[in-house]
A and B are shown apart, each in its own frame.
Chain A
């Protein structure tokens, strides 16, 4: 057949539909794409395709009592003879219709040779009088329309025939698909046996379609939800593409003019029509989602026009779909995946074409394509074909691992959790220890907070002795007790909040700094200090303002106007300083004055009442609201670790100030974090030290250890260390013969064991039990 002229320009229209009287089973268009026939159990009509809608042209169901011959399973419009139609009836009849007949009844021929439903009829693409049928009874028949009976019968010897299709390029060949999953190729001249047979699907093959251009490409669709493309031109039939759809495939039709595209619809569940690019078998290229019930027939409107698709459905509608109105699932599919890992790692997967976009595109301040979709690399000056782009796609996966010791990592959290002391020592020592830990981990704010807490809540009786002693050793907190509190607060009150915080912060951090107290430059601008953990950019933000930053620790400078320092304090750090303004108040010790230098949040509120500081005895209770505020601040900054640690260390001093629910919330959050990092010991310690009922019961759920006495090897029944049978201590280390406190490890076989480190040491040298019982101990 000579190739028709391109018609894409001449065929026009829009997405449109019309209601049918009954569900459609099949549709077919005539060659010039002007009319469509719809056939079903109770419908057999011809519609004209107009610009703006369907127009009913002819109803072929005539007669008062339509016979079963009208109940169509399939219909086909002859592509050579525009008046000729064939239908397959559910009662096994094959009927041809001639629209040129003058009377109302257009029925021309009736073949009643099949015993069961005829699933498919197919005209030969070039031979006018040749018609092929495939039936549920397992036979295919070839009819010559000039004769009353079939010319030849083909027995598939398989099961029911679901589809028959003449090859478009090979005159004598047709393909048939079967319910048992086979596809057969026949030569029309040889009814005795098939040329080839292969198993295409598991389960029924509902449909097949020859590629309009590629000789030998056959697409098949089956109940196994697959569409497969086979290359028949080779000696062995080869599966070249496989598309997995989400429901059994009822129809498959190659898209005209698009070599790799085909349209499918499904038999149940899914009502959509998909157009696939077989090279990208996972995402539909386009989807038509109009139908409300199963789509039963799809056909491209014109055999050289890829833009119009007609479909009939069980929902009794006939649709014309425009390709430009199709939804494109790939546009909605997101091309990137991103996830933050526990340790600050970032996993990132993205479409490769996104990432090959030129580098400076990402830079701030350059709006290269305002609002545009830069999904495609711009160094393709000519945009490549959309369909080509669709087919070639892949993602790159990479993990950005947070560098050890970098600020995005979570090492600080683990280190802090493991190093903090929460109990077991006097309050002041705990604070001091924790301050040291925080300082070592380069977290000056937390360090200062601990120090402040120690000062605020230490016994007023021995304020300076022990603490100052510690201070001298550690050297991290020189005493600043000699500046004018009045002046300071007055100056501060005039400033806006931000500046106040900055300056206060400078003041506070200056306490950490043993050098250069008299330096007065810098810090006029906004020193953007970020509180909280994990500073990403503190280098940057500091160094913007403090160019002279040279020491290992950042230096914070006092603005002169706010804090006039009366004298150098470095030289006498340990002795309580006489207070200049109020020499008559003898009780102001160094530590009390220090306590004004709090973390920025609380210091602000403290300053406003700074007069009170000079009263001789400041009860620790005085600080509770401030400390509470501070804890909330830490929690809101995401540092629940600090909040909980302080809560535990302060214990009763603060507990009543914070409502139970909040405490429980903090505990839960912190414990959850610890467990994420698999810090089980710390988590357990926190649970043990907590005072919330809901938390404490977390580790009181029934955990039972069954142990044997290492001496008599009987199960230990009573609580305690002494076996009630042999009256020996059951937990003696077999290596050092001391009673084990702490981690006790024992062999489940012989019940002997001891200190973890001793047993580990022992097992390096010997496999036998250290107790000498001869057992080959196994520790897991």
Chain B
């Protein structure tokens, strides 16, 4: 308790000023400056400010479990335990407006994801109610248009799971219109819509049993013909006595089945999120994992003779491992060029990670959760210095 109290003293004034700020209307756009400790000659305005935080009144009645941008970055979908999905469109002024909000499932909606726009404006969601649903936006023929609301209709409900469906992902576009779900009983299901024009018909193509309760999946986005379709599955099984909470399955052209290609035995804690980095012409794969810490793995495919039906062997390297969230890490997300990784954890912060040319990954920014603060320069700072810097940033912000 004494430790806590002293800490409380340190952050006291900060917390107070933060609280003061919080009283302002939430729609307000806060602007924060990313300051550096070193005096800079460049004009502060163009280089040092990384992000403008814009908080959105989401108006979900329970926790939001997932946010997802569409292919072009202009739409966003949120899903919540309140069983609804909301779709947000970015206006010309950068303002996000909710253009659709509808009740989707009869349980918490864990994930929402966009299909490639080539297949239309299509969303998939999965839920505690053991189903995954494919939604399509209908243009016209609805009088909702006057209210600026678009209309989403249910195209299909996938009811194969006997337990909560914990993740849903569309396969990369070059594979066609395919959808993967994973469920708490450890089954990964791969569906395909044979006719891309008909979103109501999906056939279950593969069922992979991972034996462990699944929490997240990620497709390898590589479109190279040299890379077989590959999917990584994370498990939130809480038994830490054995590892292998991340399994990687690869499609085998010969057997026409998915087979386990790799198990990351070093991952023993529950995995909450997993994300392949955008491939962008690389010969290897990079995988980010959110577990007790943030981990980045590099999977280098080893040469194999094409005739054999054995799955590809990989050389697995751990590129980075960060426990600076100090607790559970819930989400990881790559930017489009896969040069930046964002992670969020129980500390309510978003941390940005970046590699230098030596493949040394470092934290390059911390964003505080409610958008109220962007503090900078975490890398080498001690705690006191860190809060001092944060304070100056904060003061700068409030003065603005």
Contacts and interface: CB of A to CB of B under 8 A. Distances in A.
Query: Which one of A346, A397, A529, A550 has the highest number of Cβ atoms from chain B below 10 Å of its Cβ?
Result: A397
A364 B324 contact: yes
B57 to A, nearest CB: 8
Nearest to A280: B62
Contacts of A401: 51-54, 94
A356 B368 CA distance: 10
Chain A interface residue bracket vs B: 35 or more
Interface in A628-678: 632, 635-640, 643-644, 661-662, 664-666, 668-670, 672-673, 676-678
B265 interface: no
Given A348-B369, A359-B390, A638 B280 contact: yes
A57 to B, nearest CB: 36
A272 B272 CA distance: 24
Contacts of A537: 354, 362, 364-365
Contacts of B365: 536-537
A150 B3 CA distance: 71
A543 B14 contact: no
B370 A665 contact: no
Given A358-B8, A359-B11, A669-B223, A338 B67 contact: yes
A613 interface: no
Given A396-B369, A665-B223, A665-B226, A340 B333 contact: yes
Interface stretch (A31-39, A404-412, A425-433, A561-569): A404-412
Nearest to B345: A336
A372 B347 CA distance: 11
Given A362-B368, A400-B51, A635 B281 contact: yes
Given A340-B335, A364-B386, A673-B280, A335 B223 contact: no
A368 interface: yes
Contact of B382 (A365, A405, A639): A365
B129 A283 contact: no
A2 interface: no
Contacts of A367: 326
B102 interface: no
A515 interface: no
A551 B41 CA distance: 7
Contact of A338 (B14, B18, B52, B350): B350
Nearest to A538: B47
Interface stretch (B186-194, B199-207, B373-381): B373-381
Contacts of B49: 403, 406
Contact of B63 (A394, A543, A666): A394
A350 B348 contact: yes
B354 A676 contact: no
Nearest to A546: B38
Nearest to B55: A398
Query: Which one of A245, A348, A361, A394 has the highest number of Cβ atoms from chain B below 10 Å of its Cβ?
Result: A348
A407 to B, nearest CB: 7
A373 B280 contact: no
Interface stretch (B76-84, B135-143, B250-258): B76-84
A378 B82 CA distance: 27
A769 to B, nearest CB: 29
A369 B328 CA distance: 12
A365 B381 contact: yes
Contact of A673 (B26, B283, B336, B348): B336
Given A343-B73, A378-B4, A334 B346 contact: no
B110 interface: yes
Given A337-B64, A544-B38, A669-B223, A639 B337 contact: yes
Nearest to B353: A536
B327 A368 contact: no
**Interface of B, helix, strand, loop or mixed by DSSP:** loop
B197 interface: no
A342 B69 contact: yes
A357 interface: yes
Given A347-B69, A365-B381, A406-B47, A643 B281 contact: yes
B390 A363 contact: yes
B265 to A, nearest CB: 22
Contacts of B372: 355
A693 to B, nearest CB: 12
Contact of A345 (B39, B73, B337, B339): B73
Nearest to B371: A398
A471 B221 CA distance: 42
Contacts of B369: 348, 350, 354-355, 396, 398
B78 A337 contact: yes
B287 interface: no
B281 A665 contact: yes
Contact of A397 (B58, B72, B350): B58
Interface string B6-41: 011011001100100000001000000000111111
B355 to A, nearest CB: 8
B400 interface: no
A100 B374 CA distance: 75
Interface residues of B, number: 131
A469 to B, nearest CB: 32
B21 to A, nearest CB: 12
B15 A379 contact: yes
A498 B359 CA distance: 12
B343 A536 contact: no
A334 B272 contact: yes
B14 A661 contact: no
A635 B286 CA distance: 13
B18 A359 contact: yes
B341 to A, nearest CB: 9
Nearest to B63: A395
B108 interface: yes
Given A334-B330, A364-B324, A405-B46, A533 B8 contact: no
B340 A661 contact: no
Interface string B164-194: 1000000001100000000000000000000
Nearest to B82: A282
Query: Which one of A335, A374, A395, A672 has the highest number of Cβ atoms from chain B below 10 Å of its Cβ?
Result: A395
Interface string B378-397: 11011100110010000000
Contacts of A373: 327-328, 346
B332 interface: yes
A413 interface: yes
B38 A547 contact: yes
A669 B280 contact: yes
A139 B53 CA distance: 64
A351 B328 CA distance: 14
Contacts of A547: 38
A360 B387 contact: yes
B354 A339 contact: no
A753 B36 CA distance: 56
Contacts of A333: 63, 65, 81, 108, 110
A540 B376 CA distance: 10
B293 to A, nearest CB: 11
Interface in A176-199: none
B69 A363 contact: no
B302 interface: no
Given A350-B348, A372-B327, A676-B72, A661 B55 contact: no
B81 A540 contact: no
Given A245-B107, A338-B343, A350-B369, 5 more contacts: A359-B373, A373-B327, A399-B53, A635-B280, A662-B224
13 contacts: A282-B83, A329-B164, A345-B73, A364-B363, A368-B3, A394-B61, A397-B67, A406-B50, A529-B356, A531-B356, A537-B354, A544-B38, A672-B223
Interface of B: 3-4, 7-8, 10-11, 14-15, 18, 26, 36-42, 46-58, 60-69, 71-74, 76, 78, 80-83, 94, 96, 106-108, 110, 128-130, 164, 173-174, 215, 222-226, 236, 272-273, 278-284, 324, 326-328, 330-340, 342-350, 352, 354-358, 362-375, 377-379, 381-383, 386-387, 390
Which 9 pairs of residues, A with B, have the shortest CB-CB distance?
Answer: A342-B73, A355-B369, A398-B371, A338-B331, A354-B348, A397-B58, A349-B64, A395-B64, A366-B383
